[in-house]
Structure 1
Amino acid sequence: MGKSIVATSLATAAAAVVGSIASRRGVETWYPTLRKPRYVPPNGVFPVAWTTLYADIAVTSSAAIEKFRTDGDDAKARAFTAALGTNLVLNASWSWLFFKAHKLGPSAVVAGALAVSSADLARRAAAADPKFGAALTPYPLWCSFATLMSTDIWRLNR
């Protein structure tokens, strides 16, 4: 995996840290005051899910980028890297909109954009190797679930 694992790990860790800075206080103070649908998991599920997903994103993205490079397709490697950067910005932005700014409607829209972006990353990873696409599939599935949660929380708290 070479140096791309370092880059993808640092990028996903940065998104995680930026998101957690925005989330920390809101999770403890504001979030408990919101009306939530019954299907929302307990708070302890989220750090486990996201830590697992961030590791998956870093490792699978690195493998896809390296495969493109090994195959001599630097354009696809660069395009994947750009798509990953966009995805991680959307990822961290959601936390700032939701937990820090308390903007439920815009955060639901960003969650939807993140789900689409995550599906695009899985598609791009599958183009490098179908196993990579399968490995990244939990990410758009979770982001789609997060979009549903965000939208229902917005609806319940208007």
Structure 2
Amino acid sequence: MSLTATDSRSHFGPTALLALVGWVLLSFTAALPGLWFPPDSWYAHLEKPSWHPPDWLFGPVWSVLYLSMGISAWIVWRKDGFARAGGALTLFLAQLGLNALWTPVFFGMKRPDLALFVIVALLIVIAATRKAFRRHDRFAAWLLVPYLLWVGFATALNAALWRLN
């Protein structure tokens, strides 16, 4: 059964709210590897560039980004469903996978060099996701801009950490 504009997505009720919560929770799953591979003494002893943000900032920033990512995906799903937005939503899932992969590579394997490849791929897929989302909803695409900018910054930081260490 395909979802159409006349189904439960066409109004904001309990089903739409449940779907919103689902998309947001799905986005937060990319943070789960951080539970298994948290920053440790190896990371604490790395030489960091002068523009490295304080460690306490990462949690709140990522929380806001995961929330906006989930809302963005929900908007696209709600507007066009999987039938019409399947490609865009697949890109969204791909970037979530790359997002989740970066932590085990950087912190688990302690390989900033390999993590740089992962984060560059992530940056490319986020940009592709934003472009695909724009075809369905401009606001949903704009919600991904802070994420794209932060991952761009994180890419530069990853490169600097690799270079300095």
TM-score (norm 2): 0.84
CA distances 1:100-143 after superposition (whole Å, capped 9, x unpaired): 11011110111111111111222122211222211211111111
Mapped partners of 2:58, 2:40: distance in 1: 14
Structure with a larger share of its residues in helix: 1
Cα drift, residue 9 of structure 1: 2.2
* Structure 2 residue 44 is matched with structure 1 residue 32: yes
CA contact under 8 A between 1:116 and 1:140: conserved in structure 2? no
Q: Within 5 Å, which residues of 2 pair with 1:96-107?
A: 96-107=104-115
CA distances 1:44-82 after superposition (whole Å, capped 9, x unpaired): 11001100000000011110121123xxx823x211221
Cα drift, residue 4 of structure 1: 3.7
Mapped partners of 1:107, 1:22: distance in 2: 16
Match of 1:41 in 2: 53
TM-score (norm 1): 0.87
Look at both structures and tell me which one has the larger radius of gyration over its CA atoms.
2
Match of 1:21 in 2: 35
CA contact under 8 A between 1:108 and 1:150: conserved in structure 2? yes
Runs (4 or more) in structure 1 with deviation over 6 Å come to none
CA contact under 8 A between 2:71 and 2:140: conserved in structure 1? no
For structure 1, the 5+ residue unaligned runs are: none
- What is the percentage of aligned positions where both structures have the same residue? 27
- Count of aligned pairs: 150
* Structure 2 residue 69 is matched with structure 1 residue 57: yes
Match of 2:151 in 1: 143
For structure 2, the 5+ residue unaligned runs are: 1-8, 10-15
